[in-house]
Amino acid sequence: MAYGAMSRRRLAATLSALAVPLVLGQLSQTLMGVVDTLMVGRLGGPALAAVGLSSLLFAALAMSLKAVDVACQTFTARRVGAGRHGEVGPVLATALSVVLLFGGLATWFGLAHPGLLMRVVTRDPEVARLGAQWLYWRFLGLLPLLVYFQFKAMGDGIGWTRIGMITGIGMNLVNVPLNWLLIYGHAGFPAMGVGGSALASSISGALALVPLLVVFLAGGNRRRFRLLARGNFHRELVRPFLAMAWPAAVQSLGMVLALTAFYVILGGISTATLAVGAVLLRLASVSFMPGIGLGAAVQTAVGQALGAGDIRGARRAAWGGAGLAALVMGAFGLVFLVFPEQLLRAFMADPALIRDGVPAVRLVGLAQAVDAIGLALAGALRGAGRTRAVMVVDVVAGFALMPPLAWLFGIVMGGGLLGAVWALVTWFTLYAAGMLALFLPAHWHHEVRS
């Protein structure tokens, strides 16, 4: 697409057409975690704590391996933008080779040592026992989930973002009844508790892969993109592929570790603070989805534009996506500012906890538009292959600075939850400033060769 020649209205419409399915797909994945939390919450505090901690551990491994999809999407978009559709097959083959190798090792370790992983994050024997159950059944679904994300990334790079949206929504529709059956033991199924929640997620992820395989491996698409051709694995593609993928993996891992440290700091303030903070992060994860989805849309648009040699169009797509993200996330921020009590009351009933959480919810609301710009421009830089620079900014602002600041503001200075959340907002602001600093120079599009 000639993004440089588009009118502003058509550019906004094109980016929205790419982004809306991505936003809905991302939102559906986030809602899976929200639904699991709500349904497991009926089992009591230890079960809720176990799922919260074990899901963070799983995310640390799964999201790091999933980050290969950044390279898969960008390389696909470049080839589609240049009209080299037949070269998409080798990109997918490389992505699948990487995730199957490292995902297989992670699956073995997770199935063999779930208890060891839980003992790293908790000393409570009951929480550790329940968390080990959750990890065992969740690791069973790791490989299908990783394969799903690579096929989805290829579709996003082509511009077929609705496929990921539909499968993501379908994943949720399957997950809810499976949770009901496997957690509580309805309709003759065994009552597996927290393990049932994990097994439901694993089954849902595996089933979501099926329609993607049908769509992409059907005759016309398979031949157009040479997806099952002999010799698709190109050794010379591995090095540039990994050069683009590993920073995204490190960034994902750093984000999860930073949030884990944040949870630990909140727990050091009080158990009540941890409970409110967990709800706040759930709310924030939903509000960030439009920015993440628009960032992914910008990544595709920039990759296709640069593949076609349209540098001006790539820059216009990036600014257009940043503007749209700021508008949508700004609307979420307004909801946080006006209705903080109502949002918190959906998750908790204690008036004291709600009262303590209101200022923190409003503070996160104020940061929404700023973070939106960072998320959108990060997508543009990834589309240009600059995943290492994006990773450095996020790891420094998030993993290196945020936890010490949360400890300083929340514990040392006695700021409690609000003080710790100021550290989160500092992370978001520095990240956005860093993305601006990387994007504004004329050479922003210099990238890893793809």
Q: What is the pLDDT of residues 184-212, one digit of tens each?
A: 999 889 999 999 999 999 999 999 999 99
Name the one residue in this structure whose structure tokens are 């995730």: 99
The kind and range of the H/E element at 124 are none
Sequence-distant (6+) residues with CB within 8 A of 214 are: none
Q: How many CA atoms lie within 13 A of 212 on its CB side?
A: 30
pLDDT tens for the chain, 450 residues long, are 566 666 677 777 777 777 778 777 777 777 777 778 778 877 877 887 788 778 878 988 888 888 888 889 889 988 898 888 988 999 999 899 989 999 999 999 999 999 988 887 777 788 889 999 999 999 999 999 999 999 999 998 898 888 888 898 888 889 999 999 999 999 889 999 999 999 999 999 999 999 999 999 877 888 889 888 888 888 888 888 888 888 888 888 888 888 888 888 887 888 777 777 877 887 888 888 888 888 888 888 888 888 888 888 889 889 988 998 999 899 999 999 999 999 888 777 778 888 888 999 999 999 999 999 999 999 999 888 888 899 999 999 998 999 999 999 999 999 999 999 999 999 999 999 999 999 999 888 765 445
DSSP string, 198-232: HHHHHHHHHHHHHHHHHHHHSHHHHHHHTTT-TT-
Q: Which amino acid belongs to residue 292? A: I
DSSP state of 412: I
The 10s digit of each residue's pLDDT in 23-79 is 777 777 777 777 787 788 778 778 877 887 788 789 888 888 888 888 898 899 888
SS3 61: helix
Cα angle 37-42-43, degrees, rounded to a multiple of 5: 95
Write the DSSP assignment of 344-408 as a string of letters: HHTT---HHHHHHHHHHHHHHHHTHHHHHHHHHHHHHHHHTT-HHHHHHHHIIIIIIIHHHHHHI
Tell me the three state secondary structure of residue 196.
Answer: helix
What is the number of alpha carbons within 13 Å of residue 87 lying toward its C-beta? 16
d(CA 84, CA 90): 12
Instruction: Evaluate whether 450 touches 421 at the Cβ level (below 8 Å).
Output: no
pLDDT value, residue 210: 93
Q: Could you tell me which residues come within 8 angstroms of residue 373 by beta carbon, excluding any fewer than 6 positions away? A: 322, 325, 326, 432, 435, 436
Query: Which DSSP letter does residue 123 get?
Result: -
Which residue bears the tokens 């157009």?
224
Rounded to 10°, the helix 235-269/88-112 angle is: 40
Q: What token pair was written down for 189?
A: 């199924």
The end-to-end CA distance of the chain, in Å, is 19
Dist. CA 390–CA 254, nearest whole Å: 12
Per-residue confidence (pLDDT) for residue 7, from 0 to 100: 67
Q: Structural domain boundaries of the chain?
A: 3-439
